[in-house]
Amino acid sequence: MRVTFRLNGEATVIEAEPRQSLADAVRAAGFTGTHHGCEHGVCGACTLRVDGVAVRGCLMLAVQAEGAEVVTVEGLDAPDLKAAFVRHNALQCGFCTPGMLMTAAELLESGHVPDRAEIRDHLSGSYCRCTGYQAIVDSVEEVAQARHGAKP
């Protein structure tokens, strides 16, 4: 089936079988930052933004993206968050990182400064096998405070 949508800001047309996941489709379109872990919604590595909200790319069909605005980690406009991950060493192998960034970005746009418990809660749907999460929570907390002009 033909699917027309916006992918990272660009008008995009693809051919997709109905069973193809949106995560597979964006990877096939060259945005390989979207990762596949479990393919049943548990690990969070495939998390994308569709029409402004975070969704599991493995649990949405590419054909369902008709007319939608899809953003992958490559198109995620959050340089401060990405820089904080580097500064805090919040990634090792980087497999979970795109999903962590997409998930954290949504929380950071909520308009308030989340505390550590809320950050952990929000990220609890993403698995990281490497860093033990501490540095990830540190990064998100720092960006949340910086964006609201609070001292870290």
Q: Tell me the closest approach of the beta carbon of residue 41 to ligand FAD, in angstroms.
A: 3
Q: Which two tokens stand for residue 134?
A: 């501490």
Pairing verdict, β 69-71 and 47-50: antiparallel
Nearer to ligand FAD, 47 or 139 (CB): 47
- What tokens does 80 get? 């401060």
Binding mask 70-109 for another protein (x = CB under 8 A): ---------------------------------x--xx--
**What whole-number distance in Å separates Cα of residue 76 and Cα of residue 72?**
6
Q: Which CB sits closer to ligand FES, 1 or 42?
A: 42
Of 5-13, 47-55, 77-85, 143-151, which segment contacts another protein by CB under 8 A?
Answer: 47-55
Place of tokens 């998930």: 103
Is 152 a residue that touches ligand FAD (CB under 6 A)? no
Q: Could you give the CA distance from residue 31 to residue 25 in angstroms, rounded to a whole number?
A: 9
Q: Of 88-127, which residues contact ligand FES (CB under 6 A)?
A: 91-97
Query: What is the pairing mode between strands 53-56 and 47-50?
Result: antiparallel
Give the contact letters, 4-43, x = binds to ligand FAD (CB under 6 A), - = no.
Answer: -------------------------------------xx-
For 3, 70, 104, 116, 148, the CA distances from 109, given in Å and listed in that order, are 29, 17, 9, 16, 11
**Residue 13 within binding range of another protein, rule CB under 8 A:** no
Contact between 95 and 33 (Cβ < 8 Å): no
Q: Shortest distance, CB of residue 149 to another protein, whole angstroms?
A: 25
Which residues are near ligand FES by CB under 6 A? 36-39, 41-46, 56, 58, 91-97, 128-131
